[in-house]
Structures are given as structure tokens and as C-alpha cells.
Amino acid sequence: MLDVEAIRKDFPILDQIVNDEPLVYLDNAATTQKPLAVLETINRYYKQDNANVHRGVHTLAERATASYEAARETIRKFINAGSTKEVLFTRGTTTSLNWVARFAEEILTEGDQVLISVMEHHSNIIPWQEACRKTGAELVYVYLKDGALDMDDLRAKLTDRVKFVSLAQASNVLGVVNPIKEITQMAHQVGAIMVVDGAQSTPNMKIDVQDLDVDFFAFSGHKMAGPTGIGVLYGKEKYLEQMSPLEFGGEMIDFVYEQSASWKELPWKFEAGTPNMAGAIGLATAVDYLENIGMDAIEAHEQELIAYVYPKLQAIEGLTIYGSQDLAQRSGVIAFNLGDLHPHDLATALDYEGVAVRAGHHCAQPLLQYLEVPATARASFYIYNTKADCDKLIDALQKTKEFFNGTF
């Protein structure tokens, strides 16, 4: 059990009135709020330690470098990577997945396939569309069964033509969690490289990249109580050694001659230019914060909230919930529609009650096309949300329904 009241005190942003109502923040899948510890780390870094990393010999530069590299070690431990060589700092999941797809361009040829699913976020679709377009490879989709990944469809499509499998561990719309360990074993059996979009799973569950045996794993700091503009790409050393740098310039070089250059060793060969030092250090503090609470406890808390709110949502006549009804397969994301009310109107009505939810296509247009809905509303929960927040959501939905005369 989380001490949610204590946790809430660490997030002063939550303590505010929105439209005359206490804020209920349920847009955590888009971005989470940041605890004081993270804000203080960033503040302290700029107040005391700020200097460019890796190149200075003065005290501040050495302090900044030590903190930046210590942050990498914190992340390594958090995801149980074998070495800090395998932990690259990026701008976020989107950049991380773009990098892997660019690497794929070096490998893919005509006739090869890339296997993704219809529930992917655009950032795990478009980079693969581009890689396939440039190489002549084919982008193949796995579809859904009962609101979750159709494992039979996946099995049928996972042939030795597939060179990359790239899947979200947790969907940002359906809220379902995919069995990544099992799928990775299946992918490896056909010789495919397994890529995981961990944007929605890393904030909520223990990640062990060695146990999962994934080849690449991407996530964003801002969805897990960390700062914006920082994320991670984990890659197995054997692939990162093979992979060419994606950006060129300062920091990533060993020697530069007039006509050629050589690269630094891993992980720095990928980190061209001045990195986001404050972001990396802030992310490490977020990781410490989450680990102090306990990733298992965080996952259990979200399960508890979902188990509490899901039947209440189901009981609202006219409300359609998307994704699997098997709550054991779900994380803390619920997408829904209320009758034929446009989700933007629904989200605006909920905002009048102080409840912040997202509305739109959630950067998953192929999924919404597949579900044959133009948009949905989405509530997503995190460590500071309570059952009272769930009640407020239900109450606000009921009020919205009454306001529109219960016409659905």
C-alpha cells in the first residue's frame, strides 16, 4: 500500500483549484507531475554544479561530469542493464525509437519484414514506415483479440522474414500490457531483433532488460516523474557496437582529421553535442524517488485504482470503454467515450469539474481507425491518485451526462 497522502505532499502542483474545484490530474499517460526532489535536484544543479561535461578539468566540470555519469549508472541499475555502455541518453522515447529504426535501415533489405502492432504510438510506427520505405522492407501489423494483442496473429506473422519486432510493453490507449518476455523469446527463435517501447510501462512496473532479454528498450523521463527532454535508449552492446552514430559533432569523437573522424567508445559515440545534463540528473532523482516507493508497490497501486474505477465506469450507461476487460492485463490507462459526445467536449466538461483527462487520437491513429472511432477520452493514473480521484471522475461523468440530458 502506498502512503498516497505523503506522496501527494511531494507534488505541490496537485494542490490547486481549477475551475473552482480541486484539481484531479488524470493525464499521466501524457506526462506525469514532478516531485519536489526532482525540482530541487535541477535547481541545485544549476545553482551549484552547472558546467559542460566531459571536456573540462575544473572543479565544476568534474562535478557535473560525475553527476551525469552517476545518473547513467542509476538508470542502468533501474532497468538492470549489464553495463552503462548500453544506456544512451536521448530526448525521449521518440528519439530512441527513431535511432533504432535508423539502425534497422542498415540491416533491412527488400523482402524483409518489420512486425509491429496496431496499438502502437505513432513514434513506434512512423520511424518503421520510413525504414521500410527506404529499404523496400514490408511493415506488417499484428491486430487485436478481445481488446488485447492477438497472440495467434502474432505467431502466424512471426516468420523468418521478420527482422525486427517492435512493440509497446503497455498501450497508451488500451491500457493493456503485452507479454514482452514471451514475445521476445518467439522473436529470437526466428532471428528477429526485439525492440520495446517502454514509454508507458517503465513508469509503473519493474523493468529488467536482461530478464526480458530485449535487444532495445526505449523510455521517456517525463512520464515517470522526471523532467522533459530526457529519455533513454537501452541497447545490447553487440548491437550498439554495430550501430553507426546518428548525430555527429562535439563530444562523440575520438580524433578528427580534415577528411575523417573516429568515434568515442560506447555510450558516448551516440551522444553528440552538449547533453541534457540537468535532465539526466533530474531523471536519476526521479528513479531514486520511484524506487524508494517501490516499483512493485506502484504497480499494485495502479491495479487497485483500476479495479476500483473500472466497474464504476462500466456501470455508467452509454459509456464505452476500450481495451481488454481482463483487468489483470491492464495498466493505469482507460480510454472511453460517452455516447456520441465528442471526446473534446467531454474532456472540457470534465475540466469544468477540475478533472484533467486527455481527448483525441492519443498519437495512435491506426488503432483508432481499427476501432472505428475518431477519438476517445482517456484517464490515466499515477502514484498520487486516490480512490477519491476515481470517485470525482465518476461524479463528473455523471454530471456531464445529466447536463447533456442523459441523451445517450
- Catalytic residue numbers? 363
197/353 with CB nearer ligand PLP? 197
54/91 with CB nearer ligand PLP? 91
Which residues, at least 6 apart from 126, have a Cβ–Cβ distance to it below 8 Å?
none
CB of 391 to ligand PLP, least distance (A): 26
CB of 360 to ligand PLP, least distance (A): 11
Yes or no: say if 166 and 97 are a contact pair by the CB < 8 Å rule: yes
CB of 60 to ligand PLP, least distance (A): 30
CB of 363 to ligand PLP, least distance (A): 6
Yes or no: say if 118 and 367 are a contact pair by the CB < 8 Å rule: yes
**What is the separation of C-alpha 148 from the centre of its chain, rounded to a whole number of angstroms?**
18
CB of 222 to ligand PLP, least distance (A): 6
Q: Give the footprint of ligand PLP on this chain (CB under 6 A).
A: 29, 92-94, 121, 123-124, 168, 172, 197, 199-200, 220, 363
168/349 with CB nearer ligand PLP? 168
CB of 299 to ligand PLP, least distance (A): 17
**What is the separation of C-alpha 133 from the centre of its chain, rounded to a whole number of angstroms?**
25
Phi and psi torsions of 108, nearest 5°? -70, 145
124/184 with CB nearer ligand PLP? 124
33/400 with CB nearer ligand PLP? 33
CA distances 104 to 124, 158, 209, 240, 329, Å, are 13, 17, 20, 12, 30
Q: What is the DSSP letter of 323?
A: S
The 3 state secondary structure assigned to 20-63 is CEECEECECCCCCCCCHHHHHHHHHHHHHHCCCCCCCCCHHHHH
Which residues, at least 6 apart from 66, have a Cβ–Cβ distance to it below 8 Å?
none
Q: What is the DSSP letter of 96?
A: H
Q: Which three cell numbers stand for residue 358?
A: 486527455
From the CB of residue 263, how many other CB atoms can be counted at a distance below 10 Å?
16
> 23: closest CA among 396, 400, 304?
396
276/400 with CB nearer ligand PLP? 276
